[in-house]
Chains A and B, each alone.
Chain A
Amino acid sequence: MKILIAIGGIDFSKPTLNMGMEIASAFEASSTIAYVGKKISQFSEKDVSVVHQSLDNRQLYRPGIRTLEWACNFLETKGYIDSNSSANFDDHLLIDEDNSRMKVLLKSKNSDNIDLILRTGEIIDQLRDEVFSNGHDITVVGGGKNKGIYHDLIEFIHSSILVVKNFSFNKKYKILLPINNTKGSKKATEMAIRLAQHYKTEIHIVYVKDKKEKDVVKSIETTSNQLSKLKIKNETFFLEGDPVKSITKFAKDDYIISLGVSNKNPIKNFFFGSKPISISKQCNCPVLLVK
């Protein structure tokens, strides 16, 4: 499994990086930490590239390198990267892989499972390209104020998406598993199990009553039995009303939500939205949107 963790400024990327690495550890996945720099106008893109090369030569470093250095130090303190005590981040190599992508190679710090990447351009475009080229299974992003980005993240990036919102390091989270009769729900259950095993926590299954859906009770029972067999403590809650509002209200900031995304018509989603998009926009806790 491969996980892509997108980080931005140092001030607000700590929860994203921390949770992303925990998920990578839970899934025994390799991870790519990517800093996406600002989009450059085509008029100036070569000029900017030349200036950034000059900055590297003078050890002043292009934007993003210091953020990756911070990420690297963070991973080192958490034990994800082995390092030589005398090692310095200044001993890095930048490998220009074209297509706005650069790989940072550290000469004396290493981990076979972690890549540091510098990208430049429009964020959705860059993450989409990264996932497409390298086959990442989960993309981890911070839940910023820009609500408009959620649709594009879910619709255009072909991996599961973990939106890290309001994540607290020391808090004991439970897993919330909204369920219905879709394939997405089954995949979300698999992810929820791995999260629950990693965090050693319980899973709360929720179902929002819908007249159109039949045999859901059977699915819920099957899921609950599956969890019990795995010795994961679980409980089921039946909610009523608007699914988005009910789930958001129920979750508060106490859960990590594992939510399946079904294969609906993207054109419909674009014009009318979808429940996963609305839940990820409105809730106040981390949401894993499973595809």
Chain B
Amino acid sequence: MNNSNQIILSSVLYWFSQKKWFVFSILIGIILLNLTTPVGLSIAAYHSLIILIMTFILVMTEPIPFPAIALLALVLQVILGVVSTEELSSTLMNDAVIFVMGSLMFAIAIIHQGLDIRLAEIILKIFGKSKRMLIAGLMLISSILSSFLGEHTVIALMLPIGLSMIKNLDTSNNDSKNAILLVLFSIAYGTIIGSIGTPSGGARNVIMINYLQEFSDIRIDYWNWIEHAYPILFVQLIVAYIVLQFAFPSTLKNIKLSGYKRDIKKRSIQENMSNLFALVIVLLVILSWFLLNEKFGLGIIAVSGALIFMLFGMINWETINKNTNWGVILLFASTISLGIQINETGASGWLVEKFNFLLAEFFAGSENMSWTFMAIISGITANFFTSSATVSLLGPMAIQLQPNDITFALSSAIASSFSFLTVISSPAAMIIYSTGLVNTKVFFRVGIMMFLSSILILYFMSKFYWIYL
């Protein structure tokens, strides 16, 4: 075989090996399109479910860039007659998408201010008396901050603090290795758990609030959400602390924050003033989420935060542009739009009907079983598909299961945040994995305990606490 033919064939084979899941999803789409439409489903609804399946496969396996997946889902919605171009345009941009965009830009602006030094100072002052306290402090602070500012902001601020504590620890020694894992997992779990606390803790929360407004009569504001979610957050934190102490027993003898002590001393007056001003902006944004979210929406407030940082020259557009994941924003816009079509075409109603029918067959239609399945499906899907994408596609179905009650919708959004099983499920998990100090097996081994206990906590809270609200 001559050289050029071999290179061409090798390139084709390489393309196929890299894009096999893309080819698979297209084949699945073509096969499903050629089957008879299931009874009770309109053609548009059936086609919306086909696009949903293809999107699931593509997002989970990532054979093509996210913007390409987003555009493919949009193009298919129009070509397959799920929605007209005009209607598609109207569902593409809403408060949830603006929130995703605003919170990503706001996060970059905050991280750019070097507030981790200030945070390290606070953690040392409050929790510096003992090393166990320090670990608990890392988890608690990560969690509280993440509940307002989201995972990606907080993990970026807290990881340097955590890594500075474990710098120069010998990884060949079991005690040190456990100390490293304890610090990293405390930050990651604190951040993940915290993200359920308020609507602004994660895009999934905002997406669910938007769906509730769109598909039901239920309204939930910032305060209501906190009332429902914060107690769960505290119980989860206590469980996580205990689980991690058992999973990674360590004397913590080499843990210290000495690097930051030096940095704290080196701060100039100008830096202190800049930090103070940044803090004021952050507090103003959080306050606005509490007080003005009904009037302006969470998204506009997040965008305003990023805007203020830009207007005062505390960050430039180039930095924001370079570090914002525009592909994710486009993907969420597309999946939220698809989620709306799945509901509008009646596909989610049909799926819920089938789901209830199966439950009635096997569990006599028990509401508890229905809740359990819904929570576990949401949680597991989120571990392979990320929480926000899960809620954007499964959210309408969770609402349809109990359209007049907040329990199912809220439980689905909260269960989607239980990203304890895989490292791809959340920014916090992926970032501690990217340090090279945590492997996927350890993450899953500890995560399975957290996942199951979190589902139990959510169940008991929704059954015995939410009814009093």
Q: How far does the Cβ of A90 sit from chain B's closest Cβ, in whole Å?
A: 12
Interface centre among B116, B164, B426, B431 (most CB of A within 10 A): B431
CA distance A64 to B114 in the complex (A): 23
Which of B3, B108, B325, B386 makes the CB contact (< 8 A) with A45? B325
CA distance A224 to B9 in the complex (A): 35
A87 CB within 8 Å of chain B = no
For A48, list chain B residues within 8 Å (CB).
427, 430-431, 434
Q: How far does the Cβ of B318 sit from chain A's closest Cβ, in whole Å?
A: 13
Whether the Cβ atoms of B433 and A38 lie closer than 8 Å is: yes
Whether the Cβ atoms of A40 and B108 lie closer than 8 Å is: no
Q: How far does the Cβ of B103 sit from chain A's closest Cβ, in whole Å?
A: 12
Enumerate A15-60 residues with CB–CB distance to B below 8 Å. 37-38, 40-52, 54-55, 57-60
A243 CB within 8 Å of chain B = no
> What 1/0 flags go to B136-156 for Cβ under 8 Å of A?
000000000000000010011
Whether the Cβ atoms of A155 and B13 lie closer than 8 Å is: yes
B208 CB within 8 Å of chain A = no
CA distance A264 to B431 in the complex (A): 42
Task: Show the binding face of A for B, using Cβ within 8 Å.
Answer: 37-38, 40-52, 54-55, 57-60, 63-64, 125, 128, 152, 155-156, 158, 263-267, 270
Q: Known contacts A43-B328, A125-B18; is A264 also within 8 Å of B156 by CB?
A: no
CA distance A156 to B152 in the complex (A): 36
Which of B114, B116, B156 makes the CB contact (< 8 A) with A47? B156
Q: How large is the interface on B (under 10, 10 to 19, 20 to 34, 35 or more residues)?
A: 35 or more
Which of A41, A54, A57, A267 makes the CB contact (< 8 A) with B430? A41
Q: Known contacts A54-B111, A58-B259, A266-B9; is A47 also within 8 Å of B433 by CB?
A: no
B174 CB within 8 Å of chain A = no
CA distance A102 to B363 in the complex (A): 56
Q: Known contacts A155-B10, A265-B9; is A50 also within 8 Å of B434 by CB?
A: no
Which of A37, A59, A156, A265 makes the CB contact (< 8 A) with B436? A37
Whether the Cβ atoms of A156 and B430 lie closer than 8 Å is: no
For B14, list chain A residues within 8 Å (CB).
128, 155-156
CA distance A54 to B159 in the complex (A): 9
B293 CB within 8 Å of chain A = no
B245 CB within 8 Å of chain A = no
CA distance A266 to B9 in the complex (A): 6
For A57, list chain B residues within 8 Å (CB).
114
For A267, list chain B residues within 8 Å (CB).
9, 13
Q: Known contacts A48-B434, A49-B323, A270-B13; is A42 also within 8 Å of B163 by CB?
A: no
Would you list 6 pairs from A and B whose C-beta atoms are within 8 A, ordered by A residue? A42-B327, A46-B323, A46-B325, A47-B427, A54-B159, A128-B14
CA distance A57 to B164 in the complex (A): 12
B409 CB within 8 Å of chain A = no
CA distance A75 to B225 in the complex (A): 58
Whether the Cβ atoms of A50 and B156 lie closer than 8 Å is: yes
For B107, list chain A residues within 8 Å (CB).
50
